[in-house]
Amino acid sequence: MHRLFTCGTLPLTPLFGRRSRRLLPLLLAGATVVTACGDDSVLVEPPQPARGIVVLDGFIQPGLTLLADSGSSSSRVLFGAPTEFDAGAFTLERDTVLATSSRAAGDLLYIADVRTGGMRRLQLPTRSNPSRARLLRGSGGQALVGVALRDSGAIALVSVSGTNVPSSTRIPNAGLCPTDFFQYDNATWVVDANANCRVNYALVGDVRLIRIPNTGTTRDTVVITGMRGSGAGAIVIGDVAYVSAGGDANFSSFPYVLNRSGSIARVDLRNRRVLQLRSMPTGTYGGSAKIGLDGFLYVSLFQDLANFRSRIMKVRMDDLSFVSGVPASATTSWLSLIDATGTAVSCGSGQADALGRVHCIANGAASATSLIVFDPAGREMRRVAAGQGGVDLSLR
């Protein structure tokens, strides 16, 4: 999930109409500034480049590589040994990075401040198998962080204050395998992968949204029929949640079998119903979605289960249609990104800045990571070293 409005929720729902599509990138870019600065003058500012790029190095020497919008210099925030970190994604909310280690790496929560380079590591319940972490509140050195605990079927709420010992509470009965969550309308909404994550992540049923009111014990469940995936996540814009999941495949034996491709859905939170479900292109696997600063959704996936080429889909928010024709001659559903020689570039974890420039990461020999930036036409315009073992990226 990538919540843009953690300082306050703006009523963006009316903007989702087709007429307002052209205004949306501008509004979203400005809204990000609102989030960070609390400034009201967003609508008169032109789109700005990203303040910085954060790459998560998930393997080898785990940590963050921080880059600027130009130049080749970078700095690092170290997380720890590879046996203590195995996250494949992270969340960046304002200047706070949150990432978690699963049960295989010690059930840990990492909180990093990309401005100061500080990092704090917290122990989560043993064998709880954490998934996404979200910054629910944060100011003045105090923060409330929520973490979806897959094997515990719960959401942990961790209060952090300076260097004090954190305290935590738990929202139990939060689904079979909660992988993400958000707060909306005095309730916690859990994205439940509905999978047997405790054992082998085998899918039990369709992905669900489980609404847990802040008071009371009732549960409302919205089943996203047809959506499958053990790594489901959500992005909330106003009253709409964009839920995505990677699909269903059998990796237990060769050859791998794709049962269902990933998908993305729009869910009306106010009325608690699924508005639309869009499957990713036939044969693809994966579906990790980010919202670009240009107002489009960017979904990372594998082209197929044969060669696992990473691809990036550009998706319109209002009707979940794919933006094809990038470049104009391309016929594929995904972005056909090319380097200076016209050779196709395969990269994952992409996100566009407010100028529509797609940023993505690619790992080369010895897992050396490159940040690659493409202009709106899909041509490579920047390539810079960005650490090693990169798995995820986010723009500030």
CB of 78 to other proteins, least distance (A): 5
Amino acid (one-letter) located at 91: T
| Residue showing tokens 């791998």 | 256
CB of 395 to other proteins, least distance (A): 22
Dihedral angle computed from the Cα positions of residues 118, 124, 126 and 129, in that order, rounded to the nearest 10 degrees: -90
Beta-carbon contacts of residue 141 (< 8 Å; ≥ 6 apart): 161, 162
In terms of CB distance, is 5 or 59 closer to other proteins? 59
- With 0-12 / 13-18 / 19 or more C-beta atoms within 10 angstroms meaning exposed / middle / buried, residue 31 is buried
> How many CB atoms are closer than 10 A to CB 250?
12
In terms of CB distance, is 236 or 393 closer to other proteins? 393
Query: Measured between alpha carbons, how far is 203 from 5 in angstroms, rounded to an integer?
Result: 32
> How many CB atoms are closer than 10 A to CB 212?
21
In terms of CB distance, is 44 or 165 closer to other proteins? 165
In terms of CB distance, is 61 or 279 closer to other proteins? 61
In terms of CB distance, is 126 or 142 closer to other proteins? 126
CB of 61 to other proteins, least distance (A): 4
CB 56 within 8 A of CB 64: yes
CB of 200 to other proteins, least distance (A): 5
Spatial CA neighbour of 210 closest among 245, 234, 231? 234
Query: Measured between alpha carbons, how far is 110 from 114 in angstroms, rounded to an integer?
Result: 12
CB of 245 to other proteins, least distance (A): 18
CB of 191 to other proteins, least distance (A): 23
Which residues on adjacent β-strands are paired with residue 325?
none
Q: Is the peptide bond before 255 cis (omega within 30 degrees of 0)?
A: yes
Binding footprint of other proteins on the chain (CB under 8 A): 58-61, 78, 80-84, 103-109, 121-123, 126-127, 129, 198-200, 202, 252-256, 302, 305-308, 310, 348, 363-368, 385, 388-389
In terms of CB distance, is 100 or 244 closer to other proteins? 100
- Start-to-end CA span in the chain (Å): 15
In terms of CB distance, is 43 or 251 closer to other proteins? 251
CB of 66 to other proteins, least distance (A): 16
